[in-house]
Structure 1
Amino acid sequence: MASAAPTEALLRRLHAVRAHSEALIAALEPEDLCLQGMADASPPKWHLGHTTWFFDTFLLTPHLPGHEPVDSRWGFLFNSYYDAIGARHPRPQRGLLSRPPLAEVLAWRRRVDAGLEALLERLSAGPAEPAAPLLALLELGLQHEQQHQELLLMDLLDGFSRNPLEPAVEPAGRGAEATYEGMVATSPSPATTSASSPTPPASPWLHWPGGLVEIGHAEGHTGPEGPSGAFHFDNESPRHRQWLEPFALAPRLVSNGEYAAFIAAGGYRRPELWMSEGWQLCQQRGWQAPRYWRGSGAPEGWSWEFTLAGRRPLHPAAPVRHLSWFEADAYARWAEARLPSEAEWEVTAATPPQAGGSGELDALQGVLWQWTSSPYRPYPGFRPAAGAVGEYNGKFMSSQMVLRGSSFLTPPGHGRLTYRNFFPPASRWLAGGLRLARDGR
């Protein structure tokens, strides 16, 4: 939650976040702006409009005197899932919205940005309306826009992957994909896993003795990231206790080479490794490899990967990405391990590595979102926010699985140890990978 008085720093941050969304589409062609490759994705222009609608609807219309709300028809187009606000355009048909044109959406963004500046100036002048709740709502809007910046890139990658020309979203050597390749280049190479021996050679697993732990965000709690009075989504709290049996986490993410061994061992042809629903989807959709792998289909033929920079060589040592939860779970079972719970992930991430380690430990955050074994459910004592914004997280606490960490697509400063991302278990287009866990000391 945000509680400080309005400052120049907040205004600069507002401008930076809003400008970054538009920078993401700067290299796109007009035809790309309505691209929607699947029902679960949204076009770039819709993301720009929706994030603007959020500020217009929840902050400016009710709290800035004299503000003229956007045309209600636009509200119908750019509402996402807020039933308390009203009806909305069907999600699978967002790619049909050739109008309003981008120029009008950008002009709307300018008007909303000016309104947000005026609201901040009004709060700085000490209005009768308390500043803290409105600043908290502004912060929620900024964090919401940062979420959509990541979604915009994931949705574009999905859409471009369906084009036989395999166009690039970003120029080679620039953007998020260049950041990811830099991470991979500086990470240690994993130990080799063969098809006949699914368990990697001994490595310094991160051991936890078990016991009663606390997870989740709490105002005033101090952890490795400092005091936790900064922003958090409502689903990250309240901080609460959980009992954990002894466990260990792998020091790094599963690599492409290790996952290729799973494929070579018949991982996509062995129903005993899969949850029933996942196996049905695997057969129905013809899954043979991660979402964006390219090649002949034989294990040794998977030599390319479609990325934001177009088709790139598949690096065996790079973390495997764009897996569904079902694939991650099947791999873990094949590797004689399991996925960590979100509590196991958080307490490990919050504990600094012991001195004198082997140097093979990677950061638990920043490379890929990591699937956990935890269903997305409310923490004990969870209460959604009042009003329509209470629909932000709580209404999705069904049929989803939790991912932890963050990814190379996550905007700087947006990730934290308590962040709970969530997707349906069949989702493959998100920037998700996996880290293994196992029981015992």
Structure 2
Amino acid sequence: MSASPASVAAGRGTIDDPSSLAARYRTVRARSIALAAPLSAEDAMVQSMPDASPTKWHLAHTTWFFERFVLGAQPHYAPVDPQWDYLFNSYYNSVGPMHARPRRGLVSRPSLVEVLEYREEVDARMARRFEAGDLDAQDARVLLLGTHHEQQHQELLLTDIKHALWCNPLAPAYRGDLPHRTGPATPLRWIARDEAIVELGAAPWPQAASFAYDNESPRHRALVGAHALASRPVSNGEYAQFVADGGYVNAELWLSDAWTLLQAEGWRRPLYWHEDGAREFTLAGWRERDPHAPACHLSQYEADAFARWAGARLPTESEWELAAADIAVDGNFVEGGALHPQAASDPGSGLQQMFGDVWEWTSSAYTSYPGFRPLPGSLGEYNGKFMSGQWILRGGSCATPRDHVRASYRNFFAPPARWQFSGLRLARDAG
């Protein structure tokens, strides 16, 4: 990696300003604790499916990241507990073996108390490093990356515990006091754009001023054909029409793999929609479904089928990024406290809800950009090795931290995944 950038956007930390980096570290670490606070030790251990992880594991793994890649970079560093290197490694094969992901919920020891003590100890060691001023440029880069990594796990903490609570026959709420704002959705309009050759992606970090993951780079030219995007995401009410029209039993609407999965799993409505047709499960428990709010917890298969039913398609990630490039990153994020998508409150004439509320599925497979280079060393495993069988989502959700996303941000999941706050925005070809 080459020289550090001069600055990063306010609130995102700067690798050449130890005080801002320390402040960001403390803020991010405190938010993880706050998000876990409503949960009991029993809640924090449960793992409801192989793709999810226990809250306790999220708290420990994000701590392990800093210990392994920042503190552990010092010669002769003594880890808090050497055995935890095996327990809390996620997928870094170059670091060493790891506990199998589907069995993370079986790890009753260390206890939640011990994991919280582990966080406190690593934070104390990091504080001493900040105070001593002995973080070199490489340490600072990895530390800033680590804060964004932890923000990803904060969203996963919420989506994973939501699935676990939904699996509980009592359907308990994560928090019963979450605000619940409803309102009419704005009429769906189409925003057209002419064909153009454009620059997309992010300049490689840290040469560039702003943080971006390696999979967002490099900047590159792309031909984007004439097209139109819907002004807002698809609403619950619109998706309910698809369900009522037999969308889940019409084989013509579904890709082959999707139809096979549909029959095997018996899907007939989105995840968390109640069979009574009126309610949906939220982090506040069962609530009446708002027909105007963006539909969420849809797989890429469901998003694609709905688009076919609607006589449209999903946008490409190039179309999405081009549209979002000049839009301020603002919206319904985790900081707003709703922790659920809401109908747009601004009846503006342009594109709405490009950021926040729901991740928006695209029709683009997760592949590398021309000239892509992963980060050197073990951190090169972070993104690049997953460029197979995954599809791109854009824009962030109601569970995403606001300062974690940007127009070039590339989220990715396998097409059957539906436990994330994922929805869709329609696109269509020009004419």
Please indicate, yes or no, whether the TM-score normalized by the shorter chain is above 0.5: yes
Please name the residue that 1:334 is paired with: 309
Give me the whole-angstrom Cα distance separating, in 1, the residues matched to 2:130 and 2:193.
Answer: 46
Write out aligned runs for 1:215-294 (5 A): 215-218=200-203, 229-294=209-274
| Offset, 1:7 | 3.1
Query: Do the aligned residues in 2 keep the contact of 1:219 with 1:229 (CA within 8 Å)?
Result: no
**Which consecutive residues of structure 2, in runs of 5 or more, have no partner in the other structure?**
6-14, 329-346
Normalization by structure 2: what TM-score?
0.89
Write out aligned runs for 1:319-358 (5 A): 319-351=294-326
Please name the residue that 2:163 is paired with: 158
Please name the residue that 1:366 is paired with: 356
Query: Do the aligned residues in 1 keep the contact of 2:202 with 2:216 (CA within 8 Å)?
Result: yes
Please name the residue that 1:299 is paired with: none
Please name the residue that 2:176 is paired with: 171
Query: Do the aligned residues in 2 keep the contact of 1:339 with 1:373 (CA within 8 Å)?
Result: yes
Write out aligned runs for 1:27-46 (5 A): 27-46=38-57
Please name the residue that 2:144 is paired with: 139
Give me the whole-angstrom Cα distance separating, in 2, the residues matched to 1:235 and 1:281.
Answer: 29
Which residue identity does 1:189 align to in structure 2? Answer: A
Please name the residue that 2:127 is paired with: 117
| Offset, 1:76 | 0.8
Alignment partner of 1:79 out of 70, 83, 89: 89
Provide the aligned C-alpha RMSD in A.
Answer: 2.1
SS in 2 for 1:295: coil
SS in 1 for 2:144: helix
| Offset, 1:220 | 9.9
| Offset, 1:303 | 0.2
Give me the whole-angstrom Cα distance separating, in 2, the residues matched to 1:383 and 1:343.
Answer: 20
| Offset, 1:359 | 3.5
Q: Is the alpha carbon distance of 1:369 and 1:352 closer, same or farther for their aligned partners in structure 2, counting shifts above 3 Å?
A: closer
1:26 aligns with 2:11: no
1:17 aligns with 2:28: yes
Please name the residue that 2:109 is paired with: 99
SS in 2 for 1:305: strand
Alignment partner of 2:185 out of 175, 189, 192: 189
Give me the whole-angstrom Cα distance separating, in 2, the residues matched to 1:417 and 1:436.
Answer: 18
Give me the whole-angstrom Cα distance separating, in 1, the residues matched to 2:43 and 2:77.
Answer: 32
Give me the whole-angstrom Cα distance separating, in 2, the residues matched to 1:88 and 1:352.
Answer: 41
SS in 2 for 1:253: coil
Query: In terms of mean alpha carbon deviation, does 104-113 or 45-54 score higher?
Result: 104-113
Query: Do the aligned residues in 2 keep the contact of 1:206 with 1:348 (CA within 8 Å)?
Result: no
Query: Do the aligned residues in 2 keep the contact of 1:204 with 1:358 (CA within 8 Å)?
Result: no
SS in 1 for 2:369: coil
**Which consecutive residues of structure 1, in runs of 5 or more, have no partner in the other structure?**
192-202, 222-226, 297-301
Q: Is the alpha carbon distance of 1:114 and 1:80 closer, same or farther for their aligned partners in structure 2, counting shifts above 3 Å?
A: same
Please name the residue that 2:377 is paired with: 387
Query: Do the aligned residues in 2 keep the contact of 1:329 with 1:339 (CA within 8 Å)?
Result: yes
Give me the whole-angstrom Cα distance separating, in 2, the residues matched to 1:263 and 1:220.
Answer: 44
Give me the whole-angstrom Cα distance separating, in 1, the residues matched to 2:370 and 2:22.
Answer: 36
Normalization by structure 1: what TM-score?
0.87
Q: State, as a whole percentage, how many aligned pairs show the same letter.
A: 50
Q: Deviations over 1:127-153 (max 9, x none)?
A: 5x8x22211100011000000000000
| Offset, 1:244 | 1.2
Give me the whole-angstrom Cα distance separating, in 1, the residues matched to 2:200 and 2:375.
Answer: 20
How many residues align? The count is 402
Give me the whole-angstrom Cα distance separating, in 2, the residues matched to 1:336 and 1:16.
Answer: 45
Q: Is the alpha carbon distance of 1:54 and 1:306 closer, same or farther for their aligned partners in structure 2, counting shifts above 3 Å?
A: same
